[in-house]
Amino acid sequence: MPQATRPHPDVRRRLFAAALLGLAAPRLQAMDALTVTAVSKTGGSGVAGRLLAEIYRRAGTGLSIEVMPAARASLASQGDQADGELMRIASYGQSHPLLVRVDPAFYRIGVRAYWLPTRGASVRSRDDLRHYAVGAIRGMAYAQEMTENHPALTLTPNVLQLFRMLMAGRIDVAVCSTLAAQSALHSLGGKDVDVSPELARFELHHHLHIRHRELAARLGEITRRMKDSGELEQLTLKYEAAAAAAEPP
């Protein structure tokens, strides 16, 4: 009976390397898409999600967005439950050292105050908020900055709950980003409310866990090129118009 022929040592090494690559392939594929947290997929978060997906696409990386309350999103992004956060204000990383900020900012939001006409409120600046019982979304850094040391502050887990409280008369004024407020009001039936001028504008940055610092630098460079060319602003206006015209979820 003829003896089985053994592969040449070089062939064996190539087969072994191929086997290792085969074992590693699922892990490599899993890293192709990162998961980041967001407080919503509608309003400003929806616009930011579309913008960031395009930035990731140009970096050759997929993006998955998981919605959760802001406070929980913060915890998830600093552990191994998520790879980062969709968008936070520039100072967010100062109190979250496990996250690296992607520079420059890729989106911005305006913040306004909302109240029922029957309240007879008048809010022209953030200083006027101190005269009213104010509601804001828990864990949102911009809300914390706008309402710091406020004597009558109620925090809610999400934007829908915030505006339900406003409609029920449990707060005088809701402080919220413009697109998120519009989305919530549509979802709740579009009841008329009075709106302040823009009280503040915040530049928003994507944040990644420090294990992705190299990707953060690459995303930053892509964002910078898109801003310099004007393409990022064009996409922002396009996506905001689509969000404003969308049917409520």
Q: Does residue 1 lie in a domain region?
A: no
**For residue 67, what are the β-bridge partners?**
38
Q: Looking at the structure, do residues 56 and 128 belong to the same domain, yes or no?
A: no
Q: Does residue 22 lie in a domain region?
A: no
Stated as kind and residue range, the H or E segment containing 205 is: strand 200-209
| The two three-digit tokens of residue 148, written as one number | 């710091």
Q: Looking at the structure, do residues 81 and 161 belong to the same domain, yes or no?
A: no
Q: Which residues of the chain have a pLDDT value below 70?
A: 1-31, 190, 247-249
Q: Looking at the structure, do residues 123 and 229 belong to the same domain, yes or no?
A: no
| The two three-digit tokens of residue 75, written as one number | 């915890």
* Nearest residue to 69 via CA among 161, 171, 133, 196: 161
Q: Does residue 21 lie in a domain region?
A: no
Q: How far apart are CA 243 and CA 240, in angstroms?
A: 5
CATH number at residue 63: 3.40.190.10
Q: Which domain holds residue 140?
A: 109-200
Residue 24: what pLDDT? 36
Q: Does residue 7 lie in a domain region?
A: no
Residue 19: what pLDDT? 41
Q: Looking at the structure, do residues 93 and 119 belong to the same domain, yes or no?
A: no
Instruction: With 0.85 as the threshold, say if the pTM is over it.
Output: no
Q: Looking at the structure, do residues 114 and 192 belong to the same domain, yes or no?
A: yes
Q: Looking at the structure, do residues 194 and 134 belong to the same domain, yes or no?
A: yes
Q: Looking at the structure, do residues 113 and 194 belong to the same domain, yes or no?
A: yes
Stated as kind and residue range, the H or E segment containing 152 is: none
Residue 22: what pLDDT? 41
Count of domains forming the chain: 2
